[in-house]
């Protein structure tokens, strides 16, 4: 059965079918031919996959990201970052990394961050003398922070698939997200020093205060989202609803950069993205049920000895598997397929599921920015209108930084678990 399912998926992928069709075809083969179950069972499992209430947060965070991307919020956040670090060596690049963290705290999406930050910061970095290859690679890889800093859409999907608390995952992602931002900022400083990038203008404290005042309202959005979850005022799903309402108030009523007539196109864009996500989740849920019912994960894990692996060895193998998978396939699909496979080994090892979820999310983010088929690369190609080779040319140093980040999370779990334990233990 395992061989048959793999062959079905491989043939359909090579024939150019979308991943949704591939997953559904493999699931249907399992239900109809191996288990002799009718199509109604497939529908049941698909509906069960999109039934968890935590998934309601996904379209709402996507909608909030669409609203602020079209409004004034992104520019005001970028101005704050520029005011405080723009004058240091490599300040423009450091501003870009910091902006990705702030924008990620609003959108939860790497692709939205590439669009929102990249479209504004790339012209400024080029004007200051940065190479275009470095600029594009920085934007693509710094967008990984958006998948770690809450609200992370990747963490929502992982939490639903694995049964892990989304609220705990959100809080656990803050430490790794900030550490990754600092590592990228350090490399930006070294690069600017070697390349002789000129210093930017230094803002006076009066200008900084003025910039901060203009950004107070946008900065309240992540504070409300994270603070509300941290204090237990509302759940991640309720935080998503608050994000949408607050984004609408900001952009429609206060900044007036988004008109009521724009909301229909924003809603349509959100609906299309949400439909793709939910169809993948539904198809992946049916496929996951098939492989779980057939005990394929246990067969695979016992066949390669993973059930006897130490926790550290298991984390390394999980990291490699998810990284490679996300290089070729959408991270959501990889989570839907691989999380159920590794679940038995994770339970036996005694690993904290929140730690595993954070590491999996990091690998999904890295894979999204890594050739050959990282989804952020193709987003950058569309936004920057540059050929594929130009977009990926400067990626190698950032890959090393992200590899270091992966090692640090595996070797030092408190980086991930400290804030989670402080909030929930």
In a domain, 187, yes or no: yes
What mean pLDDT comes out for the span 238-247? 89
The most confident of the ranges 29-33, 264-268, 303-307 is 264-268
Sign of the four-CA dihedral 107, 112, 118, 119: negative
Instruction: Provide, rounded to the nearest whole percent, the portion of the chain with pLDDT above 90.
Output: 18
- Predicted pLDDT of residue 408: 95
In a domain, 96, yes or no: yes
In a domain, 276, yes or no: no
In a domain, 77, yes or no: yes
In a domain, 265, yes or no: no
In a domain, 269, yes or no: no
Task: Supply the range of the domain harboring residue 99.
Answer: 52-258+295-424
- 297 or 13, which is more confident? 13
What mean pLDDT comes out for the span 80-100? 85
Whether the pLDDT of residue 415 is over 90: the answer is: yes
- Predicted pLDDT of residue 297: 63
**The Cα angle at residue 379 between residues 377 and 382, in degrees rounded to 5:** 110
pLDDT digits (tens, 9 = 90+) for 315-339: 998 888 888 877 777 787 788 888 8
In a domain, 277, yes or no: no
**For the chain, what is the domain count?**
1
- 368 or 372, which is more confident? 368
Q: How much is the pTM?
A: 0.83
In a domain, 83, yes or no: yes
For helices 110-127 and 375-384, give the axis angle rounded to 10 degrees. Answer: 50
């Amino acid at each position: 059965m395992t061989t048959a399912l793999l062959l079905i998926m491989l043939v359909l992928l090579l024939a150019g079918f979308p991943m949704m069709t591939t997953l559904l075809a493999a699931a249907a083969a399992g239900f109809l031919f191996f288990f002799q179950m009718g199509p109604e069972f497939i529908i049941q499992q698909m509906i069960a996959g999109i039934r968890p209430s935590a998934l309601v947060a996904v379209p709402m965070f996507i909608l909030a990201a669409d609203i602020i991307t079209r409004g004034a919020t992104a520019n005001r956040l970028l101005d704050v970052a520029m005011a405080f670090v723009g004058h240091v060596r490599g300040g423009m690049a450091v501003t870009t990394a910091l902006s990705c963290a702030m924008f990620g705290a609003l959108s939860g999406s790497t692709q939205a961050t590439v669009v929102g930050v990249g479209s504004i910061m790339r012209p400024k970095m080029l004007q200051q003398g940065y190479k275009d290859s470095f600029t594009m690679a920085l934007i693509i890889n710094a967008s990984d922070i958006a998948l770690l800093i809450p609200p992370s859409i990747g963490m929502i999907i992982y939490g639903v698939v694995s049964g892990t608390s989304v609220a705990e995952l959100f809080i656990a992602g803050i430490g790794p997200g900030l550490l990754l931002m600092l590592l990228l900022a350090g490399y930006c400083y070294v690069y600017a020093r070697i390349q002789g990038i000129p210093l930017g203008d230094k803002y006076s404290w009066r200008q900084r205060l003025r910039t901060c005042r203009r950004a107070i309202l946008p900065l309240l959005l992540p504070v409300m989202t994270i603070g509300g979850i941290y204090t237990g005022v509302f759940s991640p799903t309720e935080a998503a609803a608050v994000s949408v309402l607050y984004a609408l108030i900001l952009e429609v009523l206060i900044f007036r950069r988004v008109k009521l007539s724009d909301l229909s196109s924003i809603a349509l864009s959100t609906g299309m993205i949400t439909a793709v996500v939910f169809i993948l989740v539904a198809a992946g849920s049916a496929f996951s049920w098939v492989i779980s019912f057939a005990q394929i994960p246990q067969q695979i894990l016992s066949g390669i000895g993973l059930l006897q692996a130490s926790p550290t060895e298991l984390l390394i193998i999980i990291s490699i598997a998810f990284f490679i998978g996300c290089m070729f396939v959408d991270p959501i699909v990889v989570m839907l397929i691989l999380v159920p496979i590794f679940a038995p080994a994770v339970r036996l090892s005694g690993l904290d599921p929140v730690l595993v979820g954070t590491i999996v999310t990091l690998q999904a983010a890295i894979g999204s920015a890594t050739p050959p088929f990282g989804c952020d690369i193709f987003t950058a190609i569309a936004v920057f209108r540059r050929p594929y080779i130009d977009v990926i040319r400067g990626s190698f140093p950032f890959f090393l930084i992200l590899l270091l980040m992966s090692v640090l999370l595996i070797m030092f779990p408190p980086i991930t678990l400290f804030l989670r334990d402080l909030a929930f233990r």
